[in-house]
Amino acid sequence: MKPIVLYRSKYGSTKAYAQWIAEALSCEAMDAKGASADILKDYDTIIYGGGLYAEIIAGASLITKNIDKLQDKKLIVFTTGLTPTDCREYYDGMVIEKNFKNGTKDKIKVFNFPGKMIISELSLVHKTAIKTLKGIMSKKENPTEMEKMLINLCDIDADLSDRSLIKELIDYARAQC
Ligand SMILES: Cc1cc2nc3c(=O)[nH]c(=O)nc-3n(C[C@H](O)[C@H](O)[C@H](O)COP(=O)(O)O)c2cc1C
């Protein structure tokens, strides 16, 4: 197995998971900012990690847009986010639906990890987005369970990243060779 771990990370949680995974697999972890598909050709196992922003996995189009060039590779994507990872309706429904169109979901194994949100570290744009989202959701008269969950997520001010959670991904990656 010749793996590489690529990631996009604004606040550091995805980068931390990428580095833990790379360490466990004795391979390189690389920031995918500005990367093209050419970088992927020397590896047989591509592990891509991206933070979730409005359900979109940051930078994952590097994989999904180049899926035809990656037919002979093992493809693993991991997300970091604040939605509890047991909320499968969210991950298996909304996240998969938005990020893996045109059959790409059948070619990629996806893992979900808890990320972090430290309010004082957020950019002004992100701070405003979270505040606005909370304001809109809180005004709903009969919020759905999903909307209630979103309101609660807006108040998280913590780092939920946990190295022990990479085990399943590592076992899966190792089993691919
Ligand atoms: C503006 C904004 C939007 C976000 N949207 C989502 C989301 O849709 N789903 C989710 O689970 N987490 C969401 N999060 C939480 C981030 O995914 C979480 O902070 C993650 O750790 C970010 O990855 P990074 O630390 O590598 O940048 C959002 C955070 C911000 C600031």
Question: Could you tell me the fold of the domain covering 3-116+158-175?
Answer: Rossmann fold (3.40.50)
- Residue-level pLDDT at 1: 84
Nearest CA to ligand 1 atom 6: 53
Nearest CA to ligand 1 atom 8: 54
Instruction: Say if residue 12's pLDDT is above 90.
Output: yes
Q: How far apart are CA 47 and CA 31, in angstroms?
A: 12
Mean of the per-residue pLDDT values for the chain?
Answer: 96
pLDDT in tens, 36-73: 999 999 999 999 999 999 999 999 999 999 999 999 99
Cβ(9)–Cβ(15) below 8 Å: yes
Q: How far lies 164's CA from each of 49, 87, 101, 143, 170, in Å? A: 16, 19, 30, 34, 11
Residue 9 Cα to ligand 1 midpoint, Å, equals: 10
Q: How far apart are CA 96 and CA 101, in angstroms?
A: 8
Residue 72 Cα to ligand 1 midpoint, Å, equals: 31
Instruction: Say if residue 160's pLDDT is above 80.
Output: yes
Residue 162 Cα to ligand 1 midpoint, Å, equals: 16
Q: Residue 160, SS3?
A: coil
Cβ(49)–Cβ(7) below 8 Å: yes
Which structure tokens are listed for 88? Answer: 């499968």
The atom of ligand 1 lying closest to the CA of 9 is: 26
Nearest CA to ligand 1 atom 2: 53
pLDDT in tens, 79-126: 999 999 999 999 999 999 999 998 899 999 999 999 999 999 999 999
List pocket residues of ligand 1, CB cut-off 6 Å. 9-14, 51-55, 80-83, 115-117, 122, 126, 129-130
Domain positions in the chain are: 3-116+158-175, 119-156
Q: How far apart are CA 156 and CA 38, in angstroms?
A: 38
Q: What percent of the chain has pLDDT over 70?
A: 100
Nearest CA to ligand 1 atom 1: 126
Instruction: Say if residue 177's pLDDT is above 80.
Output: no
